[in-house]
Structure 1
Amino acid sequence: MAHTIRVRRVYDPSEPDNGSRVLVDRLWPRGVSKQRADLTP
């Protein structure tokens, strides 16, 4: 079973077809609030 993983920038706005949003980074990106990042809990 193959899964598709799409990479998006945290600075880009969230779109309905994005699916789950996960931040994979060592540091929180500058200038992006946790609310604006709209990550999947």
Structure 2
Amino acid sequence: MKNQNGTFKDWANANVSRQIEDTVLYGYYILGYMCRMYRFVT
């Protein structure tokens, strides 16, 4: 989201939200990998 002048809003510019998104994404990939490996092994 951007302000009227074209700059990003404070919450959109914060690095914390990106770190949370990255953590969730890594968890999603790891969970998917583990599920595929479980199906392969069993």
Could you tell me the TM-score, scaled by structure 2's length? 0.17
State the structure with bigger RCO (CA 8 A, min sep 6), 1 or 2.
1
Answer with 1 or 2: which has the greater Rg.
Answer: 2
Greater helix share, 1 or 2? 2
